[in-house]
Amino acid sequence: MMGTKKTVAISTLALAMIAGADTSYAETPDVANIHDSIKQHAEEREAELKQAKQNVEEKVAEAKQHREEREAELKQAK
C-alpha cells in the first residue's frame, strides 16, 4: 500500500494542479518504486493464499481419511 506521506504528496500535488499552481518544482513519488512495492505485496499475499489453500487441502484429506477409517470400523462392528 501507498504510505501516508506519498498519499499526502500526491493529494497536495493534485490540488495544486487544480488551483493552477506551477508544479514543475513539485516532488513526485517514484512510480517504479510504488509499482515494485505493490507487486511485492501482491506476491506476498499470493504466497500466503497458496499456503492457506495447501493447509485446507491437507485438512480435507485428513478428514476424508479419518471418515474412511471410521466407516471401515463401523462395517467391521456390524
Query: What pLDDT, on a 0 to 100 scale, did the predictor assign at position 21?
Result: 62
From residue 23, how far is each of 3, 17, 45 by CA, in Å? 21, 7, 36
Query: What pLDDT, on a 0 to 100 scale, did the predictor assign at position 16?
Result: 74
Query: What pLDDT, on a 0 to 100 scale, did the predictor assign at position 63?
Result: 97
Cα–Cα distance measured from residue 59 to residue 61, given in angstroms and rounded to the nearest whole number? 5
Give pairs for 4-13: CB < 8 Å, separation 24+.
Answer: 6/34
Mean pLDDT by 10 residues, the chain (78 residues): 75 77 64 83 95 98 96 88
Chain-centre distance for alpha carbon 77: 49
